[in-house]
Chains A and B, each alone.
Chain A
Amino acid sequence: MSEPIAEEIPRRAWLRLVPLVVALVIGAFLFVGLGLRPKEIPSALIGKAAPEFDLPALPGRPKGLKTADLKGEVSLVNVFASWCVSCRAEHPLFMKLQASGVVPVHGLNNKDKGEAAMSWLNRYGDPYDRVGADLKGRVSIDWGVYGVPETFLVSAEGRIVCKHIGPVMQRDLEILLKAIEALRQGGTAQC
């Protein structure tokens, strides 16, 4: 009498594994999600030529920044502002970088009014070679900037190679320096 029921259990045993499998699949997605950084939007400009622009210098500082200035050697372009808190965090590293002379760092000042940018640079130090004053933020938009600070690695041909979003910390700088080295050797930059 009870034979048919006893037969049914082993046949459906695999069904018991379904919740486990579903949980594992969801778990895998969530685990990958932990490592993602949704705040970092991939740049649409990687591999493309730097946008055409010509910005005046900051008041009282020589050397503005324009597209042609980015051709000839590998350089970094750092988008900064006096009102930007995390720019302070990365600032000492750029000072060191400038002192080492490894790579020229150009500044793209985002929407600082009047003397704000200059007094910031006078107070904390000026790590930049050239600085373009982007008063309206239009050139920043052309560069696809959406948060300050951002740092671009530009090849000797004036092509945007990498973009770092947020303050550049020691680890990020090491990645950038490796990429710069690779570019100079004529290789492809990993960043």
Chain B
Amino acid sequence: MLMVYLRGLLLLLCLAGLSTPAFSVAVDTPLDDPRQEARARAIHKQLRCLVCQNQSIEDSNASLARDLRILVRERIAAGDSDDAAIGYIVERYGDWVLLRPPIKAGTLVLWAAPAVFLILAIILIAVWYRRRNGPASKPVASLSAEEQVRLKDLLDRGDQP
């Protein structure tokens, strides 16, 4: 009886081993070479999905994203360098597909903007800080004789109960 039970358990375990986790999307076939696959995956993460726009093709379920993933794998398997594989896609879809825009004349403003704003902010804060502390550090004109008399008068009065 125990043997039957154990045999059943063994069969169950074998079947569990055979099954693969179910995915809601069609699963890509990875490349055989794990290093090539890793390179392809790294490229997938850099390419923007054209349909969903704010996802990489790695994250997207769109059918075009899947086609592009397969295409990148093919280029890598064919011996393309990373740059060549990315260039292949850029040739067709333009710089727009790059999640990280390239530095060129047209994107200079984009790349320089954070640095420019940072420097601008530092200058503004410095100016503001100097102005705020400036007058205090300057020697204040001393009171005139008339003012001193009035001040003394006020202080004296304040002392009285």
Contact = CB atoms under 8 A, between A and B. Distances in A.
A44 B67 contact: no
Interface string B37-71: 00000000000001101000000000110011001
A146 interface: yes
B68, B90, B92, B95: residue with the most chain A Cβ atoms closer than 10 Å: B92
Contacts of B68: 141
A143 B96 CA distance: 15
A109 B96 CA distance: 25
Interface string A3-43: 00000000000000000000000000000000000110111
A125 interface: no
B51, B53, B64: residue with the most chain A Cβ atoms closer than 10 Å: B64
Contacts of A38: 53
B50 A41 contact: yes
Interface in A38-83: 38-39, 41-45
A111 B71 CA distance: 16
A138 B71 CA distance: 9
B139 interface: no
A136 B66 CA distance: 12
A41, A45, A136, A143: residue with the most chain B Cβ atoms closer than 10 Å: A41
Contacts of B67: 136-138, 141
A166 interface: no
A43 B93 CA distance: 6
A92 interface: no
A41 B52 CA distance: 12
Given A137-B67, A146-B64, A44 B53 contact: no
Contacts of A39: 53
Nearest to B62: A146
Nearest to A111: B63
Contacts of B93: 41, 44, 144, 146
Contacts of A143: 92
Interface of A: 38-39, 41-45, 111, 136-138, 141-144, 146-147
Given A38-B53, A41-B94, 4 more contacts: A41-B50, A41-B93, A44-B92, A138-B71
8 contacts: A39-B53, A44-B90, A44-B91, A45-B92, A137-B64, A137-B67, A143-B92, A147-B51
